[in-house]
Amino acid sequence: MRYQGPVYRPPSEAGSLLIQATLGCPHNKCRFCSMYKNKRFKIRLLRDIFEDLDRALEFYGSNIHTLFLPDGNTIVVKTSSLIKIIERARRNFPELERITVYGSARFLLLKKIEELKALREAGLSRVHMGLESGDDEVLKEMEKGATAAECAEAGRKVKEAGIELSVYYLLGLGGLARLEEHARKSAEVINAIGPDFIRIRTLSPLEGTPLYSDYLSGHFTLPSPHEAMRELKYLVEGLEGPFMLLSDHINNYLNLTGKLPDDKKDFLAEIEAARECDDSWFVRRLMVL
């Protein structure tokens, strides 16, 4: 396998074979994102991807159960090519149980429902979609490239095609100014989608991103840990389910993991307990996670 530049994958893909189908992100404009800022977007040649799949077979043998195809927004790859990649992967690794890509709303909407169904049929089993927010103001400010209605439509299409969907929520992205709207409107969009998983991430303005400059200049105010807990409360209050809620990243202050709606009462109690703690508790939590 030949990896180019930093390779990102969801924590849930830690045990997966990673084969880059794309390099960088075709959007690459989100103000908070640093992942592919220095990578020019490219769809790799099928020949190169096949060679990597064959090298992985030689190196690891055929006993691979999960495959993730980085980089950003691999869903943008032409459907017929993505199907060929999936078919080659399944031929090399007949025990594959899950094949996953990143896909944000802007690029999912380029696919017809028939294309998504064909991808499901071929073996694409899960898409990770960065919703980040369901608040149009926040989406526009952060240059996410899609409106809340478009995000809802894209997510529903994935589900209609029979593909598992993970949706990401970025705690703090509304800043202090839109903390409540960001949380409550996101809950509405997530309910409208009905994903399989909601994955919470907590915003840290990263050096080199436009948001970092806004943060330094005071144009963007990052919610404190206590304010972030208030935001999380609004989000959880609004979520209906059924879906799994996961906090599977070290950047989260609080580890909420369980099912909605069954665990909503417990989640809210955990959030209330955290709100009673002083700031040093949040620092400790981050260190031990």
Residues that bind ligand SF4 (CB under 6 A): 25, 27-30, 33, 35-36, 72-73, 104, 130
204/257 with CB nearer ligand SF4? 204
Strand partners, 127: 101, 165
Separation between Cα atoms, residue 14 and residue 169, nearest integer Å = 20
CA dist 10 to 18, 70, 101, Å?
A: 11, 10, 10
Residue 263, amino acid: D
100/104 with CB nearer ligand SF4? 104
Separation between Cα atoms, residue 85 and residue 54, nearest integer Å = 11
Least distance from C-beta 157 to ligand SF4, angstroms? Answer: 17
104/202 with CB nearer ligand SF4? 104
172/225 with CB nearer ligand SF4? 172
124 phi and psi angles, rounded to 5 deg: -70, 115
8/281 with CB nearer ligand SF4? 8
Pairing mode of beta strands 258-260, 243-246: antiparallel
CA dist 221 to 114, 145, 203, 206, 285, Å?
A: 43, 22, 11, 14, 22
Least distance from C-beta 23 to ligand SF4, angstroms? Answer: 12
Least distance from C-beta 192 to ligand SF4, angstroms? Answer: 20
DSSP code at position 223? P
Contacts of 84-89 with C-beta under 8 Å, sequence gap 24+, read 84/46, 85/19, 85/21, 85/46, 85/49, 85/50, 85/53, 86/119, 86/122, 86/123, 86/124, 87/122, 87/123, 88/49, 88/50, 88/53, 89/19, 89/53, 89/123
Least distance from C-beta 206 to ligand SF4, angstroms? Answer: 11
Least distance from C-beta 9 to ligand SF4, angstroms? Answer: 12
Least distance from C-beta 210 to ligand SF4, angstroms? Answer: 11
Least distance from C-beta 72 to ligand SF4, angstroms? Answer: 4
6/261 with CB nearer ligand SF4? 6
Separation between Cα atoms, residue 267 and residue 208, nearest integer Å = 34
Locus of tokens 């977007």: 41
Least distance from C-beta 262 to ligand SF4, angstroms? Answer: 31
User: Strand, helix or coil at 227?
Assistant: helix
213/268 with CB nearer ligand SF4? 213
75/271 with CB nearer ligand SF4? 75
Separation between Cα atoms, residue 235 and residue 199, nearest integer Å = 12
